[in-house]
Amino acid sequence: MDKKITIAVDGYSSCGKGTLAKALAKSLGYIFIDSGAMYRAVTLAMLDRGVSADDVDGVVKLLPDLHISFRNNPDKDYYHTLLNGHDVEERIRSMEVNELVSPVSKIPDVRKFLVEQQKRLGKDKGVVMDGRDIGTVVFPDAELKIFMTARAEVRAERRLKELQQKGNTQVSYAQILENLNDRDLQDSTRSNSPLKAAPDAVIIDNSELSKDEQNALALKLAMDKIKS
């Protein structure tokens, strides 16, 4: 029987981390966990309760009442985020959440709260988790660490298509590109768990790669680790 490993997939916003991590988890029969969705769920709870992102104490007070879980159906390629039992997958992908998730994720108590949950979710291995500090903070001992990147212009085009396919035609390419550049800056310069590649991470720039090409590359990396 093949050994189980932990796979950390980090990288910039809208560079296909989730797409690759989901495909990898499905191919290996592993659990997929979208850590970014957990920060988005906290941000949504903050918005729903009328708390400002600047009100750090107000955000922190929400945390004990939040239960974030995932509903996975690998047969249908469906991984939805639940907040206190309610499916919030669509709502956490809104531009309103996009614009506030970086400042919320900077709050040390929010990161501590969610990192503890993430560590528990992955303690038995057989997990693919994507995010921004998985290989550096959550699972520094992960057997395979992948860091994904792509040119900002390519990521903005992909994000625009994704939103249009979901019926959101109110957002422009320029808005998305500005939001991505702002998030890149905030994520990579924050003092607490900044976005960066772990020293032993494999860098995948998928600017010119198809989904099939990047998925095949990641699966080979994983199988090499599993068999080693």
How do residues 63-120 score in pLDDT, each as one tens digit? Answer: 999 999 888 765 656 678 999 999 999 999 998 998 999 899 989 999 999 999 999 8
Query: In sequence order, what are the beta bridge partners of 128?
Result: 7, 32
pLDDT tens, residue by residue, 191-203: 888 889 999 999 9
Kindly state the helix (H) or strand (E) to which residue 227 belongs, with its residue range.
helix 211-227
| Domain chopping of the chain, boundaries | 6-227
State residue 78's pLDDT score. Answer: 63
CB 55 within 8 A of CB 155: no
Enter the pTM of the model: 0.82
Confidence of residue 128 (pLDDT cuts 50, 70, 90): very high
CATH classification of 6-227, choosing from 3.90.1520.10, 3.40.50.300, 3.30.300.130, 3.30.450.20? Answer: 3.40.50.300
Q: Which two tokens stand for residue 79?
A: 């991984």
Give the phi and the psi of residue 108 in degrees, each rounded to 5.
Answer: -55, -40
